[in-house]
Amino acid sequence: MSVTVRIPSQLRELSGGAAEVSLEAGTVQSILKALDAAHPGLGARLFDDAGALRRFVNVFVAEEDIRFLDGVDTVIEDGQVVSIVPAVAGG
């Protein structure tokens, strides 16, 4: 039972250079906490002091923004891909 978490280039210094990390399935919250446990320091980049996901951090599960799902409580199933993507503006 595992899911793949894609690490953005900005955070790879903390993931030992890894672009993808495999973790146990669970919720977005539990997986990101597990990511922090595996790679100390990563959590502080993603969560603010109050424990909420920072407002410029976007998390996608199977290509869908978790704000359209159940937020950090979104359940991630075996084999799904979680992407952490910085907000970008456009036009």
- Using only C-alpha atoms, what is the Rg of the chain? 12
Q: Which is nearer to other proteins, 6 or 27 (CB)?
A: 6
Q: Is 91 in the site for other proteins (CB under 8 A)?
A: yes
Per-residue binding string, other proteins, 31-70, x by CB under 8 A, is --------------xx-x-----xxxxx-x--x-x-xx--
CB atoms within 10 A of CB 42: 21
- When the beta carbons of 14 and 23 are compared against other proteins, the nearer one is 14
CA distance 52 to 88: 20
